[in-house]
Amino acid sequence: MRILILSDIHSNLVALEAVLSAAGSFNALWCLGDTIGYGPQPNECVELMRQHAQIAITGNHDLASLGKIDLHDFNPDARKANIWNGSQLKEENRAWLDPLPPSIHVDKQFLVTHGSPREPIWEYLLMPEQAVANFEFFPNQVCFMGHSHVQLGFRMRSGSEHAERFLPDTGRTLELNSSTRYFINPGSVGQPRDQDPRAAYAMLDTANNSIRFHRVAYDVTATQRQMRECGLPVALIRRLEYGI
């Protein structure tokens, strides 16, 4: 089974469509949260997730846009974009987003969470020490997470007390070793922050027990134009072209 893993779409429909077309055929889609916030097309992005996602969780920007967490936890630009995103949501899309949990135990092998197993909404899992600590909070072999908008992974062999961080190259395939545990961040579809403006995603192949990391270029200027038309903050528009 080919499972498309997406995170942090952030209402960027142009990027999402580029990913869906580059990904080719897939049997399932897992969405790791922050489908909305920041960008210009929240309804269209939610509708594609409603159509494709077998598993979907919520993120901090989804919750803020729905008015479920305090907007003061966000900087002024993010807050403004969250308020705007929430104001645009159609009732049926709000109803789909509203009950999503921030993490789901998929099966014995996989956990999905937005931030981290110990802090599903807020933790940015970026350092090996955090990975080591977080491995104690779940029993599964592999945890997929988003939130940091950085495409990366951590692995820890059984018996080891250290985790290794790795930054995947595009098109690189990671074979999952049964005696190793992993954290995998597919990167952000709609607002990458690893100095690479291309949309990021990952494909899990359960037949080969492998994960492949991908980047795909999309028309950044089209999303920027839409954001300008919606009156979204200039800094959020600019950052897309730098991947920061």
Q: How far apart are CA 183 and CA 112, in angstroms?
A: 10
Q: How far apart are CA 47 and CA 183, in angstroms?
A: 28
**Only segment of 32-40, 110-118, 131-139, 206-214 that touches Zn ion (CB under 5 A):** 32-40
Q: Are strands 142-145 and 28-31 parallel, antiparallel or unpaired?
A: unpaired
Residues 70-129 binding Zn ion (CB under 5 A) are none
Q: How far apart are CA 128 and CA 175, in angstroms?
A: 20
Q: How near is the Cβ of 24 to Zn ion at its closest, in Å?
A: 25
Residues 6-25 binding Zn ion (CB under 5 A) are 8
Q: How near is the Cβ of 9 to Zn ion at its closest, in Å?
A: 9
Closer residue to Zn ion, CB minimum distance, 112 or 156: 112
**Only segment of 5-13, 15-23, 75-83, 196-204 that touches Zn ion (CB under 5 A):** 5-13
Closer residue to Zn ion, CB minimum distance, 81 or 176: 81
Q: Let me know: does 164 contact 131? Beta carbons within 8 Å.
A: no
Instruction: Please give the structure tokens belonging to residue 217.
Output: 């270029």
Closer residue to Zn ion, CB minimum distance, 89 or 176: 89
Closer residue to Zn ion, CB minimum distance, 124 or 166: 124
The string of DSSP codes covering 138-184 is --SSEEEE-SS---EEEEEETT-S--EEE-PPTT-EEEPPTTEEEEE
Alpha helices in the chain, H assignment, sequence order: 13-23, 42-52, 60-65, 76-88, 91-97, 128-135, 220-229, 234-242
Q: How near is the Cβ of 60 to Zn ion at its closest, in Å?
A: 7
**Only segment of 31-39, 45-53, 62-70, 71-79 that touches Zn ion (CB under 5 A):** 31-39
Q: Residue from 9, 18, 34, 35 that binds Zn ion (CB under 5 A)?
A: 34
Q: How near is the Cβ of 12 to Zn ion at its closest, in Å?
A: 11
- For Zn ion (CB under 5 A), the number of binding residues is 2
- Under the rule (CB under 5 A), what is the footprint of Zn ion? 8, 34
